[in-house]
Amino acid sequence: MLKGKTFFITGGAGFIGTALIRCIIEENRVIVYDNLSRNSLVGSGLCTHPNLTIIQGDVLNYDHLKSSIPQSVDVVLHMAAIAGIDTVIKDPVKTLEVNAIGSYHLLKALMELGLVQRIQRFVYFSTSEVFGIEAFRVSESSPTNLQPVGEARWTYAVSKLMGEHLTHSYYKQFGLRAVTIRPFNVYGPGQVGEGAIHQFVIRAIRGEPLIIHGEGDQIRSWCYIDDMVDGILLCLEKESAIGQVFNVGNPRGTITILRLAEKIVQLSGSSSRIVHVPKPYVDV
């Protein structure tokens, strides 16, 4: 049981961070470092909790990031990232900067503060997209896959993979007690952003068309947020997790995007139409 710890969470105001904070806040001190661009903490009832401190900042601002990390920190979770296919394709340079350089900044700050060997756990959040276009039925030992240069879609995956290598190198070279998590498609209450279930449900409730890019044959493995949080807590509590990489998803929740849209329309009793539009990018 995690009690009496100080957590420092980059990107902690996001969907997954907010759900995790809800589980740990009563018995621990939590510091969130986030630019608040996607803020799930708002409306969560957590913002005024006496154990929570929110620092608005950018992981690209090294000096501010470093000065925000307390010497008393026990656990660091690095969730801050540019994500979402529309955002990534629109701004691949920012995606690379935030995801790759931001990760470097955090690890460098921990080193310069003399905290690398002190902290009890460092958790890096990667992505299932490091497996490229073939992310179906993969294991942690499956080869990661670098896709062709020039496709903006893959800037997200390669920036996350760089973070995986850097995190593991700090573990091997400097003794950082690190764990890497590769979330698959997480959904549930409090979600913000571009997730398909989130967007489809909102549109179905409003009676708006559900937009599918291409034929809708893209396969996704959907993981409920509570299961995701359980996986994170195990990575924090189990000593055997140190130095490991974990795919966190749900093989039983695998479904195509088209079938997902059809199911949401059916279950909601919505009058929404399913509309196919051209897919101007590669997909998984």
From CA 57, how far away is CA 13, in angstroms rounded?
Answer: 11
Question: Position of tokens 């003794």?
Answer: 175
Give the model's pLDDT for residue 281: 62
Q: What would the pLDDT profile of 144-182 be if each residue is shown by its tens digit?
A: 877 778 777 789 999 999 999 999 999 999 999 999 999
Mean pLDDT for the stretch of residues 79-96: 90
Beta pairing, strands 219-224 & 178-183: unpaired
Pair 202, 268: CB distance under 8 Å: no
Select, from the ranges 10-14, 181-185, 247-251, 276-280, the one with the highest average predicted confidence (pLDDT).
10-14
Residue 7 CA neighbour count, 13 Å, CB half: 31
Mean pLDDT for the stretch of residues 63-90: 94
Of 43, 112, 110, residue with least CA distance to 77: 110
Pair 109, 80: CB distance under 8 Å: no
From CA 231, how far away is CA 186, in angstroms rounded?
Answer: 12
Confidence of residue 217 (pLDDT cuts 50, 70, 90): confident
For residue 62, pLDDT over 90 is answered with yes
Q: Which residues belong to the active site? A: 156
Confidence of residue 85 (pLDDT cuts 50, 70, 90): confident
Write down all domains in the chain, each with its CATH number in brackets. 6-186+223-250 (3.40.50.720)
Q: What is the mean pLDDT of the chain?
A: 92
Give the model's pLDDT for residue 267: 93
Distances (CA, A) of 126 to 32, 63, 65, 195, 214: 19, 24, 20, 16, 26
Question: Position of tokens 């997730």?
Answer: 195
First-last CA distance in the chain? 37
pTM of the model: 0.90
DSSP labels for the chain? ---S-EEEEETTTSHHHHHHHHHHTTTSEEEEEE--SS-SSTTTT-TT-TTEEEEE--TT-HHHHHHHS-TT--EEEE-----SHHHHHH-HHHHHIIIIIHHHHHHHHHHHTT-TTT-SEEEEE--GGGGTT--TT--TTSPP-PPPTT-THHHHHHHHHHHHHHHHHHHHHH---EEEEEE-EEE-TT--SS-HHHHHHHHHHHTPPEEEETTS--EEEEEEHHHHHHHHHHHHH-GGGTT-EEEE--GGGEEEHHHHHHHHHHHHT--PPEEEE---S---
Mean pLDDT for the stretch of residues 251-260: 86
Which amino acid, residue 140? Answer: E
